[in-house]
Chain A
């Protein structure tokens, strides 16, 4: 009797701590949004003043409108593009499919802010390509700082998210469904439109909502590309609000955060609902029979060029520019690139103690911090594991909340929690605070990785331990955890990649001792230190590429 009770109370403790961990920031933000001053100000009073103030700001409404347009615009680009990529990759005889497979997912793992820097140094007003273009053709036809560019770039870089779900759905589509249509007389193109596409509609719908949701969260791209023209989205508006009134205007920021959560939370719920439907469709698994690929004939090479062009524009272009820029001392009209090539940028980098600790911290938080986070996620997943209880349903909803908090919001919330909770305040300026914020932001993602590993464990393996006399905890220690070891390793690698890539979460926590590459580049870009920013970005990309290679080498699937 006692061991069962002990097991159950351990589960309850873990779920309660998780709930506290998730709800504390949200409740603090809510509380703060109804105050007239920052929560630490003794003069702060409960009121709706902050809401009235924000809602009467034309800038806020403009930012909200821009955000909505950006989200819709990028969805309109990335869903058809991602679906097309998925169809070409999984269902046609397009040349070079095998080679593209891992490359297509690269943009997901690159930091958007790094991509944005890459675009600025290549096709920005004094970018490499722009300068060359001017020499030969006159003024360029594009303007990187326009809203259109922002939408196009956001759309192109988010297409892989759609590809991920669309290709998974297409692969699990039983081949005989398409063959049945072929037999009745439909041509390949007809089959694609009449059978394949309708069958993956749930997956496309889900990824559409996902992109819409990501569109509300984007921070890096609009910060770099929108800012010069004063183009604000909600997240950058929030970032700019920091010093709106000259004094810390926490109450206004809290209101903006409330708006962001209010928009994002329903989208999270819709995603959850749609994912279930999508999975129901995927669950109709075929026998894994190899289907005949659609012959593209004359369209083979145009299709190849489409994907190659997309990859060149989305990854190669910004990355090449970034690397090149990090190896030149200066750049502008009339400068020959060979004259200015140098290693100085990298050498100087290591004189900057902030930069050095940012690199060390980034690696540390990704490896050690990532492992600790996976440890936490595993505890939470085990607490929910095969426990038919209202507690588990409660936990399921709780862990969705952080998903509705973009990194910058979660970082701010954790910053406040550390400020608000007196015993934690000394820890605010340590890497621990950054780790807490990262763990919170990626809670839902990491938990899903661990849970999918747990799903692989047949229940009777655990039951067999129980009947031979092992308590719940003992059975988990001796059977469950050893069996999900590989899943946990894979999850750790993926979390590591994501923690290196992360940039917005630590922005508010940036200070001596808490620098990470992501937040440091955001702040250094603001001060115009292009050399350092490009070098750091390259180091960031190098770290991610290294991690990605190890991950792929170990045969880890890049999506949970």
Chain B
């Protein structure tokens, strides 16, 4: 049984339909990332699960209890849903100490004072905040504040935890540490976590499952590997990773393969479009790391000779920009390249044609 189930949820805010029928399920020990561009409805979905936004139809079930059912008129208030919520800004109460922030949910539930103290201390200890209980939030660093926010969300033992861009307020170095810490914590506590992020690398790293939202619908859902390696639509292909995008005319299609013509260059790839598109304009997408510099070859299938325009040193690799008639290709390569024309290989199993 799913610990969190959302079915066909629709939300309208001020006349605009923000969510147009979204469904998802989540089990303990799983992290689902809601990914998407801004305005795609991912935060709205998260807030609706918490009861902070009002859907007009659909259902939300938490731990087997229906907390929202538009048709049946069920709408549990936020406080009755028993969820953990980590806000993007952390939303630590500035007028309460760290310990008071964390203890608040226990206080509300009428837990005895000494039990409160022990539970809070245990929770702070497990997050490496043991000695900071008496401090006020503004006396903590960003990373510490984030841990307090997590402690506050988890201290009363919710099974479902909702995280709204939990890492976005941390600087880049801290973010990588926090990412690993968060993943470990969720697995250790056996939580069902739903996390909003606009950062795909964060989603790929933490999540067992990614839901990519676009314009209020789930464009594609799947494991991070599926999402990255087998995008079903152009939007997904382009949203994940760094890509080359080539416009052309679709020439033929058979056995899941398609070919597209750019100028007089014929490119083969995996078909991701309907057969009716043959003869029409289409796009080819290939990840930067899919393109290989193939100097020494002298042409062949999916090989193209392009001029090197500029090169950038990225530290662990080089990025080169090539341009030719009708296409601009970027690729990663171990070292610098001499100026002039180079052969590039675009392997057919790495090219998607939409």
Binding site for B on A (CB under 8 A): 1, 3-4, 7, 458, 460-461, 463-472, 474-475, 478-479, 482-483
Q: In the assembled complex, which residues on chain B have CB atoms less than 8 Å from the CB atom of A479?
A: 93
Besides the known contacts A461-B91, A463-B50, A483-B94, 15 further A-B residue pairs in the complex with CB atoms under 8 A apart: A7-B77, A460-B88, A460-B91, A461-B93, A463-B85, A464-B152, A466-B79, A467-B78, A467-B83, A467-B162, A468-B153, A468-B156, A469-B82, A475-B79, A478-B104
Q: In the assembled complex, which residues on chain A have CB atoms less than 8 Å from the CB atom of B109?
A: 469
With contact pairs A469-B105, A483-B95 given, residues A464 and B77 touching in the complex (Cβ less than 8 Å): no
Give the distance in Å from the alpha carbon of A194 to the alpha carbon of B92 in the complex: 47
> By the criterion CB–CB under 8 Å, are A1 and B91 in contact?
no
Query: In the complex, how many angstroms separate the beta carbon of B179 from the nearest chain A beta carbon?
Result: 22
The 25 listed contacts between A and B (C-beta, < 8 Å) are A1-B77, A1-B80, A3-B77, A460-B88, A461-B91, A461-B93, A463-B91, A464-B87, A464-B91, A464-B93, A465-B104, A466-B77, A466-B78, A467-B153, A467-B162, A468-B152, A469-B108, A469-B109, A469-B156, A470-B79, A470-B104, A470-B108, A472-B77, A475-B79, A478-B104
What is the predominant secondary structure among interface residues of chain B facing chain A? loop
> Please, which residue of chain B has its CB at the minimum distance from the CB of A479?
B93
Contact with A along B158-195 (1 / 0, CB 8 A): 00001000000000000000000000000000000000
Q: In the assembled complex, which residues on chain B have CB atoms less than 8 Å from the CB atom of A464?
A: 85, 87, 91-93, 152
Number of B residues near A (Cβ < 8 Å) is: 30
> Please, which residue of chain A has its CB at the minimum distance from the CB of B78?
A466
B74-103 contacts to A, CB under 8 A, are 75-85, 87-89, 91-95
Q: In the assembled complex, which residues on chain A have CB atoms less than 8 Å from the CB atom of B89?
A: 458, 460
Q: In the assembled complex, which residues on chain A have CB atoms less than 8 Å from the CB atom of B108?
A: 468-470, 474
Q: In the assembled complex, which residues on chain B have CB atoms less than 8 Å from the CB atom of A475?
A: 79
Q: In the assembled complex, which residues on chain A have CB atoms less than 8 Å from the CB atom of B84?
A: 467
Q: In the assembled complex, which residues on chain B have CB atoms less than 8 Å from the CB atom of A465?
A: 93, 104
Query: In the complex, how many angstroms separate the beta carbon of B151 from the nearest chain A beta carbon?
Result: 11
Question: Is B312 positioned at the interface, with any CB of A under 8 Å from its CB?
Answer: no
For A3, A464, A479, the residue with the greatest tally of chain B CB atoms inside 10 Å of its CB is A464
Query: In the complex, how many angstroms separate the beta carbon of B79 from the nearest chain A beta carbon?
Result: 5
- B105's contact among A1, A460, A468, by CB below 8 Å, is which? A468
Q: In the assembled complex, which residues on chain A have CB atoms less than 8 Å from the CB atom of B91?
A: 458, 460-461, 463-464
Q: In the assembled complex, which residues on chain B have CB atoms less than 8 Å from the CB atom of A463?
A: 50, 52, 78, 85, 87, 91
Q: In the assembled complex, which residues on chain A have CB atoms less than 8 Å from the CB atom of B156?
A: 468-469
Q: In the assembled complex, which residues on chain B have CB atoms less than 8 Å from the CB atom of A460?
A: 87-89, 91
Give the distance in Å from the alpha carbon of A112 to the alpha carbon of B116 in the complex: 58
Give the distance in Å from the alpha carbon of A465 to the alpha carbon of B78 in the complex: 10
For B50, B75, B95, the residue with the greatest tally of chain A CB atoms inside 10 Å of its CB is B95
**5 closest residue pairs by CB, A with B:** A4-B77, A468-B105, A460-B91, A467-B85, A466-B78
Q: In the assembled complex, which residues on chain A have CB atoms less than 8 Å from the CB atom of B104?
A: 465, 468, 470, 478
Q: In the assembled complex, which residues on chain B have CB atoms less than 8 Å from the CB atom of A474?
A: 79, 108
B99-151 contacts to A, CB under 8 A, are 104-105, 108-109
